[in-house]
Structure 1
């Protein structure tokens, strides 16, 4: 049985190569419960001839996630497999990713459709070395499977349907989008978010740094009275 690698070349499925990778990604997890050899065996059982290495990674991650009832560390391993795959398919430099997002051309209209605002783009480029050097991509491996898949599905920016950002790219984009030219505060915000001390609300993570940076969250108001007058008085209060 053969797999198709990222270069489009076919090669034989090697149990030891898959096992070595899973052992590397499982470092620091509970060795009494997390069994890379068994996970490799289960993964290979689900393969077919001509599967791509990306599909192999996806199968390994899904298989690891299915074992989470045995030990929660399997969720961490599943996420690490996904992150490792994402790192192989995305650019390393934060500024390279931001440039791609800024210069994006819509394939249908053939028009410039930037995903990053001009102001934020210029700030990032002016501070490229500091921002690039500050990002710690190892922190991407701190997510569990559910957390990473949530980011991948909804939060990380895409180009032509493919995820272009890594979690650390997103967090730095959000930080600069909030603090603009105050790079010291942007870096502090990035560190706090990437180390899990806090996170911003969904609208901020979605939109910070983009051409339409609408970052306010929803909020609830109690109607003044259960009547038309009460409803519209409440709306008037919001408007004012």
Structure 2
């Protein structure tokens, strides 16, 4: 019979260094913890539906996946990102918690980070936590992690035209609105294409507004990410 040893956690992190990454952020209102999704975390957010993210008033710019999500598709998506991580192309998927309770998810992605030094981000917060400043704190946690710890020169984010909340947070952090290139993204249950705008925040233009700490960004993990 195989028995787990007291060193199983260390062995797991040694096998997959992203599991050891921890980000903590706090401001005058909230404190959050951010960690790379493990399988138990994937299970905690599996099957998230449209009303979990948007409440009863579902906007036209709603993510299409929330209408068709299932525990199986959610797990496959997260496992795909994990299995295909390389220094040339990576996605780190994080669970965000407050007081131990999941409040949302944030993803950080990059292509050829060693040369571009840019990270693209996307996030969502459960509807019951929206409008309380959690989303802004998550964005500050991401910015300071990328700039101060990962060594990014810029971070980028996009939003569907009409998503005023996402655009407002981006502008608040100092994102520069990039020229409209005609890009669209599928939205709603039928995947109707809607116009997208993209913003970029450079490290030199960012003003920190939260206290952020990071642990677990080991040399092995830096190598995996091309950092």
Q: TM-score, normalized by length of structure 1? A: 0.24
Q: Which has the larger share of helix? A: 1
Larger Rg: 1 or 2? Answer: 1
Q: Which has the larger share of strand? A: 2
Higher RCO (C-alpha under 8 Å, 6+ residues apart)? 2
